[in-house]
Amino acid sequence: MPIPPLSVEPIDQRPQLRVAAAIALASAFCLLPLQALAVGAGQLPTLFLIYGLHTAVAGFVLMASFTGLGARRGDGLGLLFVLGLGANLLLYLYLLPFAVPTYPSLMSSAFTTLLITGAVLFSWSMRRTILVGVLVCAGFALVGVALGRR
C-alpha cells in the first residue's frame, strides 16, 4: 500500500510575532532613555531616527499580527521583522559608530539573537537562516568598509 504524501499545513506564527515584537518594543522603550543620556546633544536626532525606525518595524509587525495580513503572511512578517531590525542595527552602526557599545560582541550578539529568533520562534528552514545570516554578515562587512573610509 503506497504511503500518502505528508501534508504540511502552514504554522500560525502570530503568537510568536507578537512576543518578538513586544520584546523589541519594550527594549526600545528601556534603552532609548539610557542611550540618550550617553550620547552628545548633536547625536540625539540620529538616535531618535534609529529608535523611531526600530519602533516602526516592531510596531507594524505587532499590529499586523492582529489582522488578516498576519494570519495570511506570518512568515513574511517574521522575515520583515528580522531583516528590518537587522538593517536598522546596521544603520545604527553606520550613523553612530562611537555610540555603539564599546564591546563589538554586543553588536554581534544582537545579530545572533535576531537570527536565533528567526530560526527558533519563526521555524525558519536552514536555507533561510543561512541566507539571512549571510546577508547580515555582508551588511556588517559593508558598513565596516564604509566606516573605514570615513
**pLDDT > 80? residue 24:** yes
Q: What range defines the domain where residue 70 resides? A: 14-149
Looking at the predicted structure, is the pLDDT value of residue 128 above 90? yes
In a domain, 81, yes or no: yes
> Which amino acid belongs to residue 22?
A
Q: Is residue 70 part of a domain?
A: yes
Cβ–Cβ under 8 Å, residues 136 and 111: yes
Phi, psi angle pair for 12, to nearest 5°: -75, 105
C-alpha cell of 140? 556588517
Residue 62 lies in a domain: yes
Kindly state the average pLDDT of the residues 37-59.
94
pLDDT tens per residue, range 98-113: 776 656 677 888 889 9
CA distance linking residue 91 with residue 52, whole number of Å: 12
Q: pLDDT at residue 2 above 80?
A: no
Could you tell me if residue 35 is inside a domain?
A: yes
Can you read off the three cell numbers belonging to residue 105?
A: 560582541
Question: 76: closest CA among 14, 131, 8?
Answer: 14
Q: How far apart are CA 42 and CA 104, in angstroms?
A: 23
Q: What is the pTM of this model?
A: 0.87
- For residue 6, being part of any structural domain is answered with no
Overall number of domains in the chain: 1
Mean pLDDT of 37-60: 94
Q: What is the pLDDT of residue 59?
A: 97
In a domain, 7, yes or no: no
| 86 belongs to a structural domain | yes
What pLDDT shows up at residue 12? 83
Q: What percent of the chain has pLDDT over 90?
A: 57
- What is the rounded average pLDDT of the residues 90-103? 80
Domain contains 29: yes
